[in-house]
Amino acid sequence: MSVIYIVLTVSVIVGVGFFIVFLMAVKSGQYDDSYTPSVRILFEDELVKEKSKQSIKSKTD
């Protein structure tokens, strides 16, 4: 029967855990700029691809 204490404790801890993560996210400035990251995430690959393209181009030139 005392299992309810455990369950309650767990649920509160999980809740508080997420809440702390949220506070950290706000504090780190994640909510200050909600647009740029959505563009930035698509960039990484292009640099690599571009480099190989560039080397091909310079060979043919």
Partner 1 sequence: MEESTCYHCGDHCGEKPLRFQNKSFCCNGCKTVFEIFNENDLTCYYDLQDSPGAVPKEIEGKYDFLSQDKIIDKLTEFRSDSIEIATLYIPHIHCSSCIWILENLNKLNHNISDSVVNFGKKTVRVTYNNENSSLKEVVLLLSAIGYEPYISLDDFKSGEKHINRSLIYKLGVAGFGFGNIMFLSFPEYFEVNEFWLEQYKHMFRWIMFVLSIPVVFYSAQDYFSSAFKGLKARILNIDVPIALGISVLFLRSSIEIAFDIGSGFFDSLAGLVFFLLLGKFFQQKTYDFLSFERDYKSYFPIAITKVNKKGKEVSIQVYDIKKGDRLLIRNEELIPVDGILISGRGKIDYSFVTGESQTVTKSSGDKLFAGGKQTNGIIELEALKSVEQSYLTQLWSNDVFNKEKEDGFTSITDTISKHFTLTILSIAFIATTYWLLTDVSKAMNVFTAVLIIACPCAIALSAPFTFGNLLRIFGKLKFYVKNASVIERLAQINTIVFDKTGTLTANKASQAIYEGEALNAREALILKNTLRGSNHPLSRTLYDILEANDIVTLDTFTEHVGKGIEAKHDNIALKIGSASFVGSETTPNNLNTTVHISSNDLYKGKYTFYNRYRKGVAKLFNQLKAHFDLVVLSGDNEGERDNLKKLLPGKTKLIFNQKPEDKLDYIKYHQSEGANVMMVGDGLNDAGALAQSEVGIAISDDINVFSPACDAILDASKLKFLYQYLRASKGAIKIIKWSFALSFIYNIVGLYFAVTGQLAPVVAAILMPLSSISIVVFTTVCTNILGRRLK
Is there binding between residue 47 and partner 1 (CB under 8 A)? Answer: yes
Question: Residue 15: how many CB atoms within 10 A of its CB?
Answer: 10
Is there binding between residue 56 and partner 1 (CB under 8 A)? Answer: no
Is there binding between residue 11 and partner 1 (CB under 8 A)? Answer: yes
Contact 25, 31 (CB under 8 A): yes
CA distance linking residue 22 with residue 16, whole number of Å? 10
Q: What does the binding site for partner 1 look like in residue numbers (CB under 8 A)?
A: 1, 4, 8, 11-12, 15, 19, 22-23, 26-27, 29, 31-36, 39-40, 42-43, 46-47, 49-51, 54
